[in-house]
A and B are shown apart, each in its own frame.
Chain A
């Protein structure tokens, strides 16, 4: 009873705090100083039609590198804990046969899904989306692949080499920015080009390709290890 009362008192207190905040809240009438600077100078300085990309990749590029690092650490830790060792000669798991519809549909849809993922990250500076979104779409293609054929084998060394190469590429482009342009991850190491074209906005398409490949391979790697662990448990119980 006392415990419940305590919870109710805390909730009421939180409600009061939020209510006072809500009372004093009036929406922004204009952009604040930083946002106004980005909106005014973004197109001419960075050359990206998608202002979000201009902020994420160039103005706040270091934060993006941090995010990619966090994602890498997460994937590495999950991979470490899900280390699978399937003994040779053991019976592989009996999976229910996937339906004809799923198998056929996966063959038709997979190239389209991968193409959409690549489209999203290559056009990151023009249309909504970018490396993270494109990578996630590619990983969802891997989900379909695994659902259609759970026993499919993937080359872990290929996946991890793509992942590390794109990570190194991302940092390399960033360092090139220090040497050839204004600072780390400056996109003006390549020509800015015509505003709104595919090959414009300097190094942004290049950086987003690296980010997209890296995110896509990391997420797919998590899914593939999850799928393999299922096999591992089965071989223990049998």
Chain B
């Protein structure tokens, strides 16, 4: 059971990572990168590492996504 969940999570992460690299819209790419972190944190939980899962969920999918958006906004304004 755990193995199936882990494989599904891994596949979703790989797809999202592909989207993050290849998508034309940067906002979609940033969100996809955040989703990779979110699923990674679930995977850490399955692998019995709740400490790491917490860090990944709050920093990987929360703070870094927000920081990417701030930077994106700033770059757009300077380019206009």
Total contacting residues, chain A, CB less than 8 A: 23
CB proximity of B44 to chain A, nearest CB, Å: 11
Q: How far, in angstroms, from A140 to B64 measured CA to CA in the complex?
A: 10
Interface of A is mostly: helix
User: Which of B2-10, B11-19, B22-30, B51-59 is the contact stretch?
Assistant: B51-59
Total contacting residues, chain B, CB less than 8 A: 18
CB proximity of B17 to chain A, nearest CB, Å: 17
CB proximity of A98 to chain B, nearest CB, Å: 15
**CB contact between B74 and one of A128, A139, A140, A230 (< 8 Å): that residue:** A230
**Minimum CB distance partner of A215 in chain B:** B59
Contact A136 B63 (CB under 8 A): yes
Q: Which residues from chain A contact B50 at a C-beta distance below 8 Å?
A: 128-129
Given contacts A223-B66, A223-B67, A227-B70, contact A136 B59 (CB under 8 A): yes
Contact B51 A128 (CB under 8 A): yes
Contact A129 B51 (CB under 8 A): yes
Given contacts A133-B55, A226-B70, contact A139 B78 (CB under 8 A): no
Query: Which are the 7 A-B pairs with shortest beta-carbon distances?
Result: A128-B50, A136-B58, A226-B70, A133-B54, A233-B77, A140-B62, A128-B51
